[in-house]
Amino acid sequence: MIRDVEFSHEALPPLATLEREWRTLEAVARPSFFTSWQWIGTLLAAMPAAHRPNLLRGAARGATVGLALLGAGITRRRNGLVRSRALYLNETGDPRFDSITIEHNGILAPVGQEVVVLDSAIAWFADLGDVADELYVSGSTLRLSETTVEGRGLGRSETALPSYSLDLGLLSPSSGELYPVLSANARQQLRRAFRQFESYGPLQLSAATTIAEALAFFAELKALHCASWERRGKRHAFAGEFFEPFHRLLIERSFAGGGTQLLRATAGGRIIGYLYNFRAGDRI
């Protein structure tokens, strides 16, 4: 068990140096895709150097046991009357770059030590005094205990959003067949949808096999996505200038290693839609 983790806020080292450190720690961790170098490295490579966040490092007995990016910014509330100095875990604090929306966020740490390392990071933040007022941890699934937060004299504000997952091991007995694990109502709806789409021709799911094909799928996905949101008169994900270049670079950097996957579903010659998947280890 790791004890006495000391955190420091550092300037970002050269990306090649940081990549070596990050991947070394990643080898003994179980990162989500969003805390792996695939995401973090792409974010830093895609950003102008002047806007890159700093580094948060946790060390125990001279060894690095925690890594995260740490952005900073000023937030204002109540018509600008309340000014707050904020830190952002694995984000920049700049909405232009944070529009990519991190999920499954946290500090990269050895397997089984994630809670201890995060608790130490909160303790570090609590001791900052008048250096910072708020710490934003967006897209995290880890619930911090009262001892970790309120026990250190901190307050918290949370926004809970639904998150869905499926243990693919449940599909092993049926060789990947979904129907046995669905409710009767869900099975009925799925069969109805299949019949409707099959009226256009045979259903087919095809995967992009090259980076060029994956980028072509992504461009077609963009067209469908934008059209869908624009019909509803709402802002879509591609409205910001950073979102598309970031994801295109992410595909270019991670597709060959299986980190990103692009799938196209068709019925006859009719396109039904696209899936854009991230993969880290045995999780998609």
pTM score above 0.75: yes
Is the separation of the CB atoms in 69 and 135 below 8 Å? Answer: no
Q: For the chain, what percent of residues have pLDDT higher than 90? A: 80
Q: How far is CA 213 from its chain centroid?
A: 24
Direct distance between the N- and C-terminal alpha carbons of the chain, in angstroms, rounded to an integer: 29
Residue 133 scores a pLDDT above 70: yes
The label of the residue with tokens 């806007």 reads 51
Is the separation of the CB atoms in 15 and 53 below 8 Å? Answer: no
Q: Where are the domains of the chain?
A: 6-152, 200-278
Our CA angle for 121, 90, 252, nearest 5°, is 145
Residue 77 scores a pLDDT above 80: no
Per-residue model confidence as pLDDT tens digits over 214-250: 999 999 999 999 999 999 999 999 999 999 999 999 9
Per-residue model confidence as pLDDT tens digits over 164-216: 887 888 888 888 888 888 899 999 999 999 999 999 999 999 999 999 999 99
Residue 2 scores a pLDDT above 90: no
Query: Which CATH number is 6-152 given?
Result: 3.40.630
Write out the DSSP string of the chain.
-----EEEEEPPPPHHHHHHHHHHHHTTB---GGGSHHHHHHHHHHS-GGG--EEEEEEETTEEEEEEEEEEEEEEETTTTEEEEEEEETS-S-HHHHTT---S---B-BTT-HHHHHHHHHHHHHTTGGG-SEEE-TT--PPPPTTTTGGGT--------------GGGGGGGTT-SGGGS-HHHHHHHHHHHHHHHTTS-EEEEE--SHHHHHHHHHHHHHHHHHHHHHTT---GGGSTTHHHHHHHHHHHHTTTTSEEEEEEEETTEEEEEEEEE-BTTB-
Per-residue model confidence as pLDDT tens digits over 98-125: 999 999 999 999 999 999 999 999 999 9
3 class by beta-carbon count within 10 Å (0-12 exposed, 13-18 middle, 19+ buried): exposed
Q: What is the pLDDT of residue 131?
A: 86
Q: Which two tokens stand for residue 247?
A: 């994801």
